[in-house]
Amino acid sequence: MLLLLQETKKSSPYQCGGLRLRKTNDEKIVLKVGGSIIQNNRGEVHVDLVREYALMIKELRKEGFDITAVIVGGGAVSKRFASYARKLGASEGVCDVVGIQATRLNAYLFIAAIGDDAYQVVPRTLNEVAQASATGKVIVVGGLQ
């Protein structure tokens, strides 16, 4: 799943990657990318698709869209790893951490694909997100605690 901003009345259209956007002044954009976009159920990464979304993000930024953050999900892989931990006798707290770490791996894949336009660390807390926002780079978030 990929969510983008809603169209507004005082804006101009923009087409990118089959998505139609409208730009308005001073709007910050947060994208949400589901874990199934990044990996299939077997844990294989959709490298070409991740690269395509990263290129779209960089292109939109060049066009003046203020893409502030990309929030990535863990998908089936994070659920599967949490399930493995549960089968091994882990507490629910540990299972949560395992799922969070898998989600953070997805975020690092997006950071790699976006490159220099991305803040190079996945924030762990909202305070870290606030600090990262001062850089003006795209903040890739997954597995906030």
Domain of residue 40, CATH code: 3.40.1160.10
Specify the pLDDT at position 11. 47
The angle subtended at Cα 95 by Cα 130 and Cα 33, nearest 5°, is: 45
Reduced to 3 states (helix: H, G, I; strand: E, B; else coil), residue 73 is coil
CB 68 within 8 A of CB 133: yes
Q: What range does the domain containing 92 cover? A: 2-141
Q: Which band of pLDDT confidence, cut at 50, 70 and 90, is reported for residue 122?
A: very high
Where is pLDDT greater, at 138 or 28? 138
- For residue 55, give the 3-state DSSP assignment: helix
- What is the tens place of the pLDDT at every residue in 69-105? 999 999 988 999 999 999 999 999 999 999 999 999 9
How many Cβ atoms are within 10 Å of 57's Cβ, its own excluded?
25
Side-chain half-sphere CA neighbours of 75 within 13 A: 23
Q: Which residue has the higher pLDDT, 19 or 6?
A: 19
Question: Which residue in the block uniquely carries the two structure tokens 């993000």?
Answer: 57
Strand partners, 139: 69
**Tally of structural domains, the chain:** 1
